[in-house]
Chains A and B, each alone.
Chain A
Amino acid sequence: MIPLAARAATVPSPFNAEQQKRFDEGFQRAVAKYPPERRRAALLAALHLAQDELGWLSEPAMAYVGHLLDVPPVRVREVATFYTMYRLRPVGRHHIGVCNSVSCWAMGAEKILAHCAQTLGIQPGETTRDGHFSLEEVACLASCGTAPAVLVNNFRYVENVTSQTMDRLIEKLRGMPGQEMTPGPAARLPGHHHQAATTAADSGSTERK
Chain B
Amino acid sequence: MTKILTVDWDKPESWLLRTYGDYQVLPKALKMQPQQIVDEVVKSNLRGRGGAGFPTGMKWNFVRKETSFPKYLVVNADEGEPGTFKDREILLRSPHLFVEGLVIGCFALDCHLTYVYCRGEFREGPVKRLQGAVDEAYAKGYLGKKILGSAFDLDMHVVFGAGAYICGEETGLLESLEGRKGYPRLKPPFPANAGGGLFKQPTAVNNVETLANIPVIVEKGGEWFSNIGLVPKNGGTRLFAVSGHVKKPGVYEAPMGISFRRLLDEHCGGMREGSVLKAIIPGGSSSAIMTAAEADWASDFDTLKAKKTMAGSGGVVYLDQSVNMAQALANVMRFYAHESCGQCTPCREGTAWLSRLLDKIVAGEGEKQDVDNVHQIARQMEMKTICALADGAAMPAKSYIEKFRADFDGLVRG
Do A and B assemble together? yes
Q: How far is the CB of A57 from chain B (nearest CB, A)?
A: 10
Decide yes or no whether B182 CB sits under 8 A from chain A: yes
Is A41 a contact partner of B331 (Cβ separation < 8 A)? no
Q: How far is the CB of B156 from chain A (nearest CB, A)?
A: 10
Among A18-58, those with CB < 8 Å from B are: 33, 35, 38, 40-45, 47-48
Is B121 a contact partner of A154 (Cβ separation < 8 A)? yes
Decide yes or no whether B249 CB sits under 8 A from chain A: yes
Q: Which residues of B contact A209 (CB under 8 A)?
A: 338
Whole-angstrom CA separation of A38 from B157 in the bound complex: 14
Whole-angstrom CA separation of A41 from B339 in the bound complex: 22
Is B162 a contact partner of A86 (Cβ separation < 8 A)? yes
Is A101 a contact partner of B317 (Cβ separation < 8 A)? no
Q: Which residues of B contact A100 (CB under 8 A)?
A: 331
Q: How far is the CB of A158 from chain B (nearest CB, A)?
A: 12
Is B121 a contact partner of A155 (Cβ separation < 8 A)? yes
Among A131-174, those with CB < 8 Å from B are: 139-147, 151, 154-157
Decide yes or no whether B120 CB sits under 8 A from chain A: yes
Whole-angstrom CA separation of A38 from B179 in the bound complex: 9
Is B335 a contact partner of A41 (Cβ separation < 8 A)? no
Is A142 a contact partner of B85 (Cβ separation < 8 A)? yes
Write the B237-258 contact mask toward A (1 if CB under 8 angstroms, else 0).
Answer: 0000111110001110000000
Chain-A contact segment, one of B76-84, B102-110, B301-309: B76-84
Q: Which residues of A contact B124 (CB under 8 A)?
A: 155-156
Is B332 a contact partner of A102 (Cβ separation < 8 A)? yes
Q: Which residues of A contact B242 (CB under 8 A)?
A: 145
Q: Which of A79, A83, A106, A146 makes the CB contact (< 8 A) with B317? A: A106
Among B212-248, those with CB < 8 Å from A are: 241-245
Chain B interface residues (CB < 8 Å from chain A)? 79-85, 87-88, 113, 115, 119-125, 157, 159-165, 176-182, 199, 241-245, 249-251, 281, 285, 315, 317, 319, 323, 328, 331-332, 335, 338-339, 341
Known pairs A41-B179, A107-B243. 4 more at Cβ < 8 A?
A33-B157, A102-B82, A145-B250, A155-B123
Q: List 15 A-B contacts (CB under 8 A).
A: A41-B179, A47-B162, A78-B180, A78-B181, A82-B181, A83-B162, A84-B163, A102-B83, A140-B80, A140-B83, A142-B80, A142-B119, A145-B243, A147-B249, A154-B121
